[in-house]
Structures are given as C-alpha cells and as structure tokens.
Structure 1
Amino acid sequence: MPTAFSDRAEDESDHHLVQRCLRGDTQSFRLLYRRHQQRVRSILYQLCDPSALDDLVQEVFLRAWKGLPKFRQSAQFSTWLYRIAWNVASDQRQAAAQGRTRLQVLTRTATTQQDAPDVMQLHYQDLVQRGLAQLSFDHRTILVLHDLEEVPQKEVAEILGIPVGTVKSRLFHARAAMRQFLQKEGVQL
C-alpha cells in the first residue's frame, strides 16, 4: 500500500505533511525532503563551498527534523526551512573565517547541465559565481534568494529576520555591485 500513500501524500500541503511528521510519520518527512531539497541545494550552492554541498543539505534537513516540534504552525514550512538553510550557510561561513574550512574552489564544473554545455553559458555561470563571490555575505544572500531563487521580498525578510526595507536596500546595493562587476568584466548590460 506504499503507492496509495505516495499518491495521496503528493497532493497534501506542507502543513498536513508536517502534522503527520509530528505524529511520527517518517514517510511524510521524506516527501517534504523530496519537495524542497532541490531549492535548498540551490540556495546552499550559491552561498557555500560546492564541494561540501551534500553534507550541508543533509545538515539542513537534519536540523529541520530535530526542530520540527518547535516549528510554529502559523509559519510557512518553506520559509522556515530556507531560514535553516541560511543558518547552515552562515555557520559554514563562520567556520571558514576561523580557518576550519576553505571556501575557495579553484575549478568549477557545471553539474546542472545534462548534455554538453554551451561554452557561453558556462562563461556566464562562471561570471555570476565570481560576481557573487565579490559581494558581502549579506548582499550575496539577498541576491541569491530574491533574484536567483525568486523568493518574494517579504519572505526573504522573514527568512533573514530583517525588515522588508532592509531587504530592498540590500538588494539595490547588491545589484549595483554585481552590475559594476559585470561591466568591469566586459559584459554589456
């Protein structure tokens, strides 16, 4: 009967799946993982060392599982989960600053491309990655969440625990810095 559960669970909201998880249903948490892991992975990829990506994604979902009993049911699960992802990225950044890990990756590969990637596409992906690396962590976070992951400003504010006005301000400055970097690299905007 696992297929009947899977078919029924696919249509359930995150809220209902969280309720099931709180009653000890691990299948529901697996579904939440499948539903959200790609976006969590994408956020972490933009903010952290790609070589540590699998471990960081695991850490996010481990923290989510352990923290589920404290989850405010009035909040949106995805917002709460992305906040955990941001916290994991922040922890990783602090560890790197203290010299416990190295965040510099000398070679980058396009793992998201299935067939032979277009050389210009790789060039622009590399430029974006290098541009993001030039930004402060706060500005990079705002740009990744809002512009690359298309999270609404209000939700970004909730994830980061800052006012919407601060999100708008950081977004403005992050875009300006990215624009300046790209122009310096010869990209016509």
Structure 2
Amino acid sequence: MEPAEIVADELLVKRCVDGNDRHSFRLLYRRHQERVRQILYQLCDPLSLDDLVQEVFLRAWKGLPKFRQSSQFSTWLYRITWNVATDRRQILARDRSRLQTIAQNISTQHDDPDPIQLDYQDLVRRGLDALSEDRRSVLILHDLEELPQKEVAEILEIPVGTVKSRLFYARAAMRKFLESSGVQL
C-alpha cells in the first residue's frame, strides 16, 4: 500500500465507497480531523468538541456513497462540519433561551465581566459570538481557517460575491467590537 501522505483524498474516498474500506477512511480522518476540530472550536462550545468531531465523521462515513466527486472531499467535509455546527448552535440557542427565562425569574441580572480582564482569545470569541451566524461562518472559514473565498462559497452554498460582502461586514463589526473593548488595532 502507498504511504498515506501521497494517497489523494479522492482515491481514499473511492476505496471507501468501492469496498467499505475503513482503513482508507481512517486515513481521511487523520488527515482532516484537526481542521474539522478547529472549525468546530470557532463555531461551537469547546466543551463538546470531541462529540461534534465524531458526529461530523459519522455523517461523512454514512454520506460517502452520495459524495459527488465534482468537488473536493475537504470542501464536502467542511460543509458537513458547518451543518453539524449549525445544528448544535440551534439546539444550544433553544436551551439557552429556556435557561435565560428561568434565570430571569430567579435572580437579578449581573453585569458582563470587564473586557480588560478577559484574555485576547476570550475577547475574540465574544466578538465572534456577537456576529450573525452568516458573517461569523464566513469570517471563521476564510480568515481563521484560511480557506479561499471560492471554497467558502462552495461550503456555505452561496455566491462568491456574498462571501466577499459578508466578510467585509464581519471584519468591520469585529474591528468595531475589539476597538470598543479597548484593543488598539
């Protein structure tokens, strides 16, 4: 068998589909799991990362027979990642809404922590959380994960022009948030 580094994703996918080859899928997992984890970290609660990564690859394994070879495996996988993150955020938003209602009935409201006391990563996370889902996704995939705009467009199933527009407004909002939090850019 060829060394794992030189076997293209497309060949590994073909092996998986043709022969239900778990070894080839294991190579795909090893190759892409860290990037999937990074994307999920930016989009979701870090405490559930392991479960979410497993969910992404489970969906990928089950969906391989339907995978169209017209796009890159990584683009398809990142689309699954985005879908898993979206599903997770919807569940958390629903749960958070319920908890907020309960908390408002029980306790008084506390002020947000002083932004100066937060470290930079927490501040960036808060800034990302303040963005709309559409803008946050584009910013994370393009700026943090360094995916080309064309690939971001494929993952999110939107035109490249929409990616550019959302990226522009997301960066502006993030810049404004960081400046209002005392970060000099």
Deviation at 1:10, TM superposition (A): 2.6
User: Aligned partners of 1:178 and 1:97: how far apart in 2?
Assistant: 21
Instruction: Give the one of 103, 123, 138 matched to 1:127.
Output: 123
Shift of 1:100: 7.6
2:83 corresponds to which residue?
Answer: 87
Residue 145 of structure 1, CA deviation: 0.3
CA distance in 2, matches of 1:125, 1:95: 24
Of all paired residues, the percent bearing the same amino acid is: 74
Q: What TM-score comes out, normalization by structure 1 length?
A: 0.84
Q: By how many angstroms is 1:26 displaced?
A: 0.5
1:70-124 per-position Cα deviation (integer Å, ceiling 9, x unaligned): 000121000000000000011011112222899xxxxxxxxxxxxxxxxxxx822
Aligned partners of 1:101, 1:8: CA distance in 2, in Å?
50
**Separation in structure 2 between the aligned mates of residue 46 and residue 158 of structure 1, nearest angstrom:** 19
The correspondence for 1:19, drawn from 7, 14, 22, is 14
CA contact (8 A) 1:146 1:153 kept: yes
Please report the TM-score for the alignment, with normalisation by the length of structure 2.
Answer: 0.85
Q: Higher helix share goes to which structure?
A: 2
Q: Which residue of structure 1 lines up, in the alignment, with residue 183 of structure 2?
A: 187
Larger radius of gyration: 2
Give the one of 33, 37, 41 matched to 1:37.
33
Is 1:64 the counterpart of 2:60 in the alignment?
A: yes
Number of corresponding residues: 168
Written as runs of structure 1 = structure 2, the 5 A alignment for 1:81-160 is 81-99=77-95, 123-160=119-156
Residues 1:178 and 2:174 aligned together:
yes
